[in-house]
Amino acid sequence: MFLLAQQNHSNAIPLGSSLSPIANASWLSPSGIFAFGFYPQGNGFAIGIWLVNKSENIVVWTANRDSPPVSPNTMLNLKSDGLLLRTGQGEENPIANLSYPADSAFMHDSGNFVLYNTSSDVIWESFAFPTDTILGGQNLTVANKLVSSVSGSDHSSGRFYLWMQTDGNLVSYPVNNTATSENSYWSTGTTNTRSSTASKPSTASDQSAVCPPGSTCIVACSKKTTYNRPCSESSNHFTHSYDYNSLSLNQSGLLSLTNSRSNIYILANISYPAKKETTPIIYRAILESDGIFKLYSHRFLGNTSSHLEWSALRDQCEVKGFCGFNSYCNRNRKTVPKSCLEETVNCGAAYYTNGTCSKYKLPLRYAIKFIRYRKLSPENVNVEFAENLSLRSFSYNELENATDGFKEVLGKGSFGSVYKGYVSEANKTIAVKRLEKFVEEGEREFRAEMTAIGRTHHKNLVQLLGFCIEGSRKLLVYEYMSNGSLADFLFKAKKRPLWKERVRIALEVARGVFYLHQECEVHIIHCNLKPQNILMDDTWTAKISDFGLARLSVPNQTRNITMSMEATSGYSAPEWQKNALISVKSDIYSYGVMLLEIVCCRSNIEELDKLVEDENVDMKTLERMVKVGLWCIQEDPALRPPMKNVILMLEGTMDIAVLPSPAISQS
């Protein structure tokens, strides 16, 4: 196919090239099939790659997909140190981080956007960082994921992910779940602990491919059964051990799992047996926003036509959490189910049997219910549920064993100590927090808190994996954060962290707080934001911990926090000392203090030039961060900006008002 043939770089994009949302918004591939650049999203623009279609462009990749949309006065520049997004205020944020200097870029007809060095070696490519889609010629390698988009028009991270696991299994899960078989809703079942055999076709006429001993072939039988096994010279059977390490889509529409020995497991084979195809075709495999993995073909002859070639599931009711929170599927026996019953009931579970969904009211995100019937009388049947929450419920003994008797202490916070643990069945390191301030609460209240926290999912929040409640013992199980806290990063490092890293971390924390305040289902006031509660994962991404352990706030309201907790001195807003109402503005104050500490890497604020002496920083960005920090720590909560405005001001897309004159204290 000419679209996917090896291309020369005569149309290479040179250094110094730039794009703008309102002028010269994209770079096209040689045949004009794919484009890289700005596309409309929400109230602004996102940066990505799309399949050009006269009726509607099809987005296949998005850069920084969870960042807010950018404004029309933004510029994207190709420089030797990468693709840099420049805001109207002059701040530059990287789109592609490089280890070597770039010399040129190229938008290929395959849909791959590539950066090259002076020797024409690939130093960065979009194919290495898939979002929700892989294209022909692209792989999803072991331990990597496709994450669905929120919707067809919002390409930020959605509610489902497809994971190429290290055990050779390709599995779909809802987000915010541990990767266990109970939480999955679709898989290939190709774990490396299993093997199978299949007979060879009996005659050569039944074969459409023949391979020599020791190689791998695809054998298609007359009954349209496909065997994917190594050939054997001495046996009439194919044998194979499943140890796949890559999901691959080739340029002819073969979607398969492969391993290092070139064995394949076919999911969909659109082009086999070979067809004489003269119309250019692009193949696209996507984890849709509804959680179903699908393969499409797009033919280019006049107008672009799209066809669904294969789907992992045909029944959306099989997708856990498909209808979202507090809802269930409306399954129609005569048609493919595509709707959710609209009702504002606090529904927690849908029990599906014989094509019928029944509703049960519990405060759950979604649940699978194992039902036990007690025959009391024909008129009185007691139905009991053993709940399988989106959070895993651990026993105390399990966590005691996982932590080796709570041996290794990771830290101690306002609510209790944190211990390092390991869950062998999931091959996962965990962090276990023993709560010390919640012992007076009942089980019902505690489970309600856990349900609310379990519904949160954001890349800048530490993920809650499970909990334990046995009498007065209450423990929380979190993902393990390998690089300590922001306090360690800022105050204990031998060398001052790089300025660009600190700017990035400030924005990451702001986005996490904004999610808690405005985007999650139950709005949450953190009440104890400080560098010790900002943890760093193995990629040095900042994530907020200990959220939801104070009282939950009601949207657009404030409430008095009466829990037994202490705000940390130096980070707590003045209203804490005044015993006044605590609101999201209290978190804004704490964030402002942290922002100033991120600027100077120390707790004591000094003159600006002394804070960053002997350091190469952008003084405009520095001044902007300090001003935002000072706005956040205003004594009057009404003067503190909402977190959305904090993000926009830090990014340079919103002007910062003149700070009010400092109040003169009266003795």
Helix (H, G, I), strand (E, B) or coil at 286: strand
Rounded-to-integer distance, Cα 358 and Cα 351, Å: 5
Rounded-to-integer distance, Cα 317 and Cα 36, Å: 36
pLDDT at 655: 86
Helix, strand, coil share (%) of the chain residues, nearest 5? 15, 35, 50
Rounded-to-integer distance, Cα 409 and Cα 420, Å: 6
- pLDDT tens digits for 550-577? 653 334 444 444 444 455 666 777 776 6
Contact 585, 600 (CB under 8 A): no
Contact 366, 353 (CB under 8 A): no
Q: Tally helices (H) and strands (E) across the chain.
A: 9, 42
Annotated binding site for ATP: 433
Residues of the chain with pLDDT under 50: 1-8, 193-242, 272-274, 325-327, 332-339, 341-389, 439, 552-565, 604-610, 664-667
Rounded-to-integer distance, Cα 248 and Cα 106, Å: 23
- pLDDT tens digits for 219-278? 333 333 333 444 433 444 444 444 688 999 999 899 999 887 778 889 988 754 445 556
* Residue 410 structure tokens: 């990771």
Closest to 135 measured CA to CA, from 310, 4, 280: 4
* Domains of the chain listed by start with CATH number: 2-129 (2.90.10.10), 162-278 (no CATH), 316-388 (no CATH), 392-479 (3.30.200.20), 486-651 (1.10.510.10)
Rounded-to-integer distance, Cα 413 and Cα 550, Å: 13
Rounded-to-integer distance, Cα 291 and Cα 146, Å: 10
Q: Please, what is the Cα angle at 448 between 447 and 449, to 5 degrees? A: 90
Contact 407, 399 (CB under 8 A): no
Annotated binding site: 433
Sign of the torsion formed by the C-alpha atoms of 456, 462, 466 and 471: negative
Largest CA distance in the chain: 101
pLDDT at 107: 96
Tokens 């006429």, residue located: 205
Contact 618, 86 (CB under 8 A): no
* Residue 160 structure tokens: 């489902």
Closest to 281 measured CA to CA, from 266, 296, 265: 296
Tokens 């987000």, residue located: 175
- Angle at which helix 619-632 crosses helix 643-651, to 10 degrees, equals 170
pLDDT at 614: 58
pLDDT at 603: 63
Show Cβ contacts of residue 318 under 8 Å, excluding neighbours closer than 6 positions.
185, 186
